[in-house]
Structure 1
């Protein structure tokens, strides 16, 4: 039976590998950073189980590790990591052609198939997939399948996948953690009552009985919070708890599924506009060695703004039908 914990352990092993490679190369800050994260991923279930029994020490140790990660991040520097020569990479790309897209396409296809049919799969009456979100399990399994597909297509050794994965991870550095950290931040904000505070402020500033005003406040609020926090996953629980649920769903009768899906997409318009989304906007500029670190954001603005306007219109027309 596959559970999300199996994939967390697999990820922990990869992070440990990245840490040991950095240790061998005397990049001590990088080594400590990835090893600490590996320990957190591997011991996450233990921390949660201990918290349920009232033992706070593992959670406190995990908190200390997070503080240590923040300190280590300040010591991490982007350095050139050797890769295959440009001529060799070009020749490989010409040889493989469009086959290079197959592993990338496998990830969404396998994920969707597992989400749709995974809950029905069983062997001898035992479900194939166990505890955890079926979507996360599907995505994790899809990534593993795509890795083996890439190895088969390129005819490379499995060690090449580990080496290239580690090279990309070190190139991104601490920014690789931003999606996880920012999504967690959104949950913390929601649990600490930020959503209620937002609802109070919005109720004072806009006419709460106006459907259009509430839609604009929700959509633009998603964009603004995403720009500030760098990720729509962080903005979504705050804005939905503050505006979406009490004003649009409960007061004006908006359809939750439509409002939530379009609202999340609206938030990602903010992702296209902010340097806080470093893993999306700053890391690609660094990888491509662009002179302007904000070049990616400038290129995305002509898409982000029209998409925002279209999303607001769709939200107003579809969520209340």
Structure 2
């Protein structure tokens, strides 16, 4: 058992493991580009082919390319989208509804988190990097879930690829928002925005006030996330500027617990902003809702309830640590 866990930890820690995961994503995107290229009925198919092929290059080979080339390719993706080169037209997929899967439809959905948590847990037992194990588990879970879906849905692999391509095209460039916004957060941090926020909050919140510092951290995460649209972009800036110097370091608090509360407080901002287009506006288009803000009108109420719960959990931790 110990030998097996040790071997697993070494495999997960190996740099090639990540490369394989991203190569699979790149290969899948290239298959989508080929599928679009073979669709002679599609209007303006070549810009779409260029978009998905280039995105496949970034995922599959981006780590090996010079940074400036990656940057040029990203700008090229933005240019193709700005010119209207990525437009999705729904076409019925034959055979996708030939059988009613019933509860079997949940099998692939549950497979992904089960394998993700399983691999992350085994990595923890082996003394490896849990975060890296979770990412590898997610990639492995996605691959296994496809096989489970083929069995549960009783359809061929080609149908799964067609459905995946259509869904990917429906989401379109919104796929890139989390990565781009996370990069934006790093740029804000490098520009010193976090230090400016720390100085501003330090003038308002009295020194030694753990409650005021925590409230400022959670509120800053929420507002900055609502501004940029993604808590990943806000996390590096607000945690560097407020979370670490004003909440964690002065009081010796658990950084993991404080950080995860800050991240989910930021998600409350995600629930309330149209800037989070991949979460809040994409479903409107996919489901053909008449109200562009129907999702937001439902979600803001939940955010109002969840936000104070962060202070409650934080307070319980401080009082009982």
TM-score, length of structure 2 as denominator length:
0.87
**1:285 and 2:284 matched:** yes
**CA deviation profile, 1:236-269 (whole Å, cap 9, x unmatched):** 1111111110011111332212211211111111
Whole-angstrom distance in 1 between the partners of 2:50 and 2:315? 49
Unmatched segments (≥5 aa) in structure 2 = 1-10
Equivalent residue number for residue 52 of structure 2: 34
Equivalent residue number for residue 162 of structure 1: 161
- Cα drift, residue 151 of structure 1: 0.6
2:70 paired residue among 58, 62, 69: 62
Whole-angstrom distance in 2 between the partners of 1:255 and 1:119? 18
- Cα drift, residue 319 of structure 1: 4.3
Equivalent residue number for residue 227 of structure 1: 226
- Cα drift, residue 67 of structure 1: 1.1
Whole-angstrom distance in 2 between the partners of 1:140 and 1:120? 20
Whole-angstrom distance in 1 between the partners of 2:86 and 2:60? 26
Equivalent residue number for residue 299 of structure 1: 298
Equivalent residue number for residue 103 of structure 1: 108
1:13 paired residue among 8, 27, 42: 27
1:80 paired residue among 73, 86, 89: 89
Unmatched segments (≥5 aa) in structure 1 = 48-57, 122-128
Q: Which runs of 4+ in 1 moved over 6 A?
A: none
**1:270 and 2:269 matched:** yes
Whole-angstrom distance in 1 between the partners of 2:152 and 2:97? 16
- Cα drift, residue 293 of structure 1: 1.1
**1:113 and 2:118 matched:** yes
- Cα drift, residue 313 of structure 1: 2.3
Equivalent residue number for residue 7 of structure 2: none
- Cα drift, residue 184 of structure 1: 2.3
- Cα drift, residue 90 of structure 1: 6.0
Equivalent positions of 1:68-217 (< 5 A) are 68-74=76-82, 75-76=84-85, 78-84=87-93, 92=99, 95-118=100-123, 133-217=132-216
Whole-angstrom distance in 2 between the partners of 1:206 and 1:156? 60
Whole-angstrom distance in 1 between the partners of 2:152 and 2:318? 44
Question: How large is the RMSD of aligned CA atoms in angstroms?
Answer: 2.4
TM-score, length of structure 1 as denominator length:
0.87
Whole-angstrom distance in 2 between the partners of 1:253 and 1:187? 25
- Cα drift, residue 175 of structure 1: 0.5
Whole-angstrom distance in 2 between the partners of 1:119 and 1:30? 42
Alpha carbons of structure 1 residues 212 and 119: separation in structure 2 relative to 1, 3 Å: closer
CA contact (8 A) 1:255 1:319 kept: no
